Every structure is written in structure tokens, then in C-alpha cells.
Amino acid sequence: MEEKVYTVREVTRLIKKIIEQGIGFLWVRGEISNFKAHPSGHFYFSLKDEFSQLSCVMFREENRKILFKPENGMELNTYGRIGLYEKQGVYQLYVYDMKPVGIGDLALRFEELKKKLKEEGLFDKEHKKPLPDFPLKIGVITASSGAAIQDILNILSRRAPYIEVIIKPVRVQGEGAAQELAEAMKEFNEYKDVDLLIVGRGGGSIEDLWAFNEEIVARAIYLSEIPVVSAVGHEIDFTISDFVADLRAPTPSAAAELAVRDKKEILDGINHLLQTMKRLLFSNFEQKSEKLKSLTKRYGIARVIDMIRERKQMVDEYERRVISKVSYLYSIKLQIQDGLYKRLNGLDPSAVLGRGYSITRRIPEMKIVSSIKDINLYDRLSIEFVDGKVRTIVDKKNLRTTEDSETKEKKTKNNINSD
């Protein structure tokens, strides 16, 4: 019986069938070598370990879905099927997906965007804007509820009660959060009504903080003409926003601390400047006086001595004027300092309460009551005094009417006419 003679193509297809049907799809781990991105868009590379090497191909329609750039030496987990390339008679792995070993999808996206923006220069120090020394208006972009906004407001009111705070409530996680953050920054920049922006939220998982890792937020921070402080999560959390912002604060509370100077620090600084000015003035005066005294000792002629004595008399007069002027300037500066201190203390709500005023809030919403029309009979109220709070229930309302005011005005006019 004559034996069958196979063509090369027949043998190749037989091997291809055995390999592809016998192995199928699988995950393969290995290190990239000989990587080449072809102009067609396809990836050609090898996966190797210490014992073997496997040829791989990843076509353009598959590799455009990955979120990183493969490089030689990178360790990958690849998913695909083993097949045979008939033209060359070699088997290879047709790759459908690949992931770097030990890196999750979000972490991978984070690193890819970080690398991209860094290469574009968004993290460069020369683009960082200095924070204003004495901001008077601060914009805060965060969620309307939660610990972050409360921490920021409490610290700003304690350190710098004269600061005006404008809050822009936005979503800080979930779908649409990144868009709202970017739009809020754009809006503040259009109005240009604040000196500084604080953008952030409290802590959470990488998924919770992901809005601050979106490219749209990073570019909005970069394009902001107003200095931006990024205050996202806890001290150990880092987001793309932190790298782009003009200043990264480890927490929202720290952002408020870094944004303003404490009122005591400002007053101490003013006092230090006044004392320094006083010392410089007196030091300059003493130097001039000593110089004049030295000059008088160089001449022995009586006529010249008389002239010097006359000049000394003029110096005495100059001294009196300088002392008078210094004392006047010093008293003015003290008055300015005292005025500033009183203005700062006058902004403290506790100082107002100390003058006999009180703050009334309606329970349970704790909304401040500014008019008797805002309350009804039997409403529960909380009244805050300088040294404590009380709760009460409204059992009577005396509403001052327009008729009462007119009657009182007529009585006053009658009394004046009778006089």
C-alpha cells in the first residue's frame, strides 16, 4: 500500500487544527521583549520567562482598548488563544487583552493620566501660582453636606472671621461629578470675584475619589487664573488634582489652615513692624548725633567752635522735632493697631452676644429667626446667649402693626403742638 504524501500546507493546517482545538483561550504571564508597534497599529512582541519564549500579536482593534503603553521589560498577564501562523509555520498567541501584573484598572488609569499630563507640563512648578497673603474672599467647591465643608468653615471662621466664603455645592463622586467640578471652577473664573479656590472632599476609597483623577478636572485646575488649593481625602491619599493644583493640602482642614493667616499672627506682625520702625528711627538718630559730636572735636579755632555750638543748638532743636515726630507717628500706629484689633474682635459673634444680644433659632431645622413673622404659636425655639443656650415654646405673639405705628406718631405730633 502506497503511503500518503502530505503537502507542507496540509501538514501546517493539521498542526493548526490540533493546536487551536486542543488549547483554546487561556491567560499567559510573561515579560515583554522585542516589542514593536507596527505602522498598521498592530502590536508584535514576545512573552518570555527564564525558560521559554512565546511569540505574540495583538491586532489594532484589540489594543486600542488598553489603557497603557506596553514596554520592554514589563510583566503582563495576557489573555488570548494559541494559533498557528501558516505562512511561517510558527505558533503564536493572539492577544485579546493584557494587564500589567499587580496593577488594578483604576490604578493603571491613574498612572497613565499622570504620565500623560506630566509630559504635557501640567505639573511643572513654573505654572504654579502663589497663594495671596491676605485673601478676603475664598471660593469653596465641594459637597454641600459632610465633614469637609464643616471643617473648612469652622477653621476659616476661627482663624480669619473677616473672610467672606462663597460655597459652590457639587457632587464629588459618581457619574457627572467630574463635569460639575470642572464647571464650578470655570464659573468662578468667569466672575473673578474670589482671591482663592479650595477644591476637595473628605476621604474614601479610590473609587470615591475618582472624580478628582479625571482629565477634565485636571485641565480645569490648570486653566484656572485663580490660585487653587487641592484638598482631597486624607493625608495618604493622592489624586491627579493634587499634582496640578497650585498647592496640595493633605486634608480639607489643612487647606483652610494654609489658605489664611491667623488673626493673632496678623496683629503680632503689625506690632513687630511698629517696634522695628521705632528701633530703626532711634538708631539712625543716635548715629547722626554721634557723628556730629565727633566732628566738633576736630576744630580748635574759637570761631569754628562757636559755629559748631550754633550747629549743636540746631541739632538739639532737630532732636526735639524728631522725638516729637516719632512719638506722634508711634501713637498713630498704636491707634491703627488698636482700631484693627477692635474691628477684628467686632466681627466675632461672641462679642455681639456679650453686649446683650442673643441668637434665636427655630427647632428642629435650627434656622435663625430674624422676624416675629417667621415663628408661630407653640413653635420650639433655641436662644443662644453669650454664656449658654435655652429652649422655649412660643405661647404668645405681639405683632407690631402699621396702625400701631401711625397712632404712636399722631400722639407724638399732638404732644409737640400742645407744647
pLDDT in tens, 71-86: 888 888 899 988 888 7
Which residue is listed with cell 471652577? 185
In contact, 25 and 81? CB cutoff 8 Å: yes
Q: Using 50, 70 and 90 to split pLDDT, how confident is the model at 100?
A: confident
The pLDDT score that the predictor gives to residue 270 is 81
Q: In this prediction, what percent of the chain has a pLDDT beyond 90?
A: 35
Q: Using 50, 70 and 90 to split pLDDT, how confident is the model at 275?
A: confident
The pLDDT score that the predictor gives to residue 55 is 92
What is the fold of 124-259? Rossmann fold (3.40.50)
Q: Is the model more confident about 197 or about 411?
A: 197
Q: Using 50, 70 and 90 to split pLDDT, how confident is the model at 237?
A: confident
Q: Which residues contact 411 (CB under 8 A, 6 or more apart)?
A: none
Count CB atoms within 10 A of the CB of residue 149. Answer: 21
Distance of CA 304 to the CA centre of its chain: 71
Which residue is listed with cell 405730633? 413
Q: What is the pairing mode between strands 90-100 and 53-58?
A: parallel
Count CB atoms within 10 A of the CB of residue 123. Answer: 18
Considering the chain, what is the average pLDDT of its residues? 85
pLDDT of residue 273 exceeding 80:
yes
- The CATH number of 8-102, from 3.10.129.10, 2.40.50.140, 2.40.128.110, 2.60.40.650, is 2.40.50.140
In contact, 73 and 32? CB cutoff 8 Å: yes
pLDDT in tens, 2-12: 777 777 887 77
Mean pLDDT to the nearest integer, 17-27: 81
Count CB atoms within 10 A of the CB of residue 252. Answer: 29
Q: Is the model more confident about 286 or about 166?
A: 166
The pLDDT score that the predictor gives to residue 128 is 94
Q: CA-to-CA distance for 79 and 28, rounded, in angstroms? A: 6
Predicted structure pTM score: 0.49
Q: Using 50, 70 and 90 to split pLDDT, how confident is the model at 47?
A: very high
pLDDT of residue 62 exceeding 70:
yes
The pLDDT score that the predictor gives to residue 309 is 75
Backbone angles phi, psi at 21, to 5 degrees: -80, -30
Using CA atoms, how far residue 175 sits from 213, 370, 372, in Å, is 13, 39, 44
